[in-house]
Structure 1
């Protein structure tokens, strides 16, 4: 997946820079890495960490992720 700065739009998978097939353990590892780079307490890059956090919250919860994945399928059909 292409590297994107937070706030650049795209899917939650693109925000976290993981494939839709990523395991929860991979999502957690990537989230921690991104937190070290983008969290406002650790970085002065000016980007909002909220988008990364929200993506993690959704994709790390199996039920929320299933709902999100269904919304992607629905969007693609339209």
Structure 2
């Protein structure tokens, strides 16, 4: 199950393969599933794991997520 180009031109939501409406509890579940596949000790690919971890850190924090969502909105307007 290859990761769909984590972080390459996509949003943090795409990195985690979730919708912007996904609840924080679900994000944690998805993150744990992806870690089991992409952890560097298991896959040898630390770059994908780093992208997944960074996406999780932002999207699991309500304040950071709100700031990120606002940045997406402003980017779309431009």
Question: Normalization by structure 1: what TM-score?
Answer: 0.88
1:41-65 deviations in Å (ceiling 9; x for gaps): 1223x35110000000000000000
For 2:34, the equivalent position in structure 1 comes to: 34
**Gaps in structure 2 of 5+ consecutive residues:** none
For 1:76, the equivalent position in structure 2 comes to: 76
Q: Could you list the runs of 4 or more consecutive aligned residues of structure 1 that deviate by over 3 angstroms after TM superposition? A: none
Q: Please, what is the CA RMSD of the aligned residues?
A: 1.4
**Gaps in structure 1 of 5+ consecutive residues:** none
For 1:62, the equivalent position in structure 2 comes to: 62
Moved more, 5-14 or 32-41: 5-14
For 1:12, the equivalent position in structure 2 comes to: 12
Question: Normalization by structure 2: what TM-score?
Answer: 0.88
Q: Give the Cα separation in 1 of the matches to 2:7 and 2:41.
A: 18
For 1:25, the equivalent position in structure 2 comes to: 25
Would you say how many aligned residue pairs link Structure 1 and Structure 2?
Answer: 75
Q: Give the Cα separation in 2 of the matches to 1:39 and 1:9.
A: 22
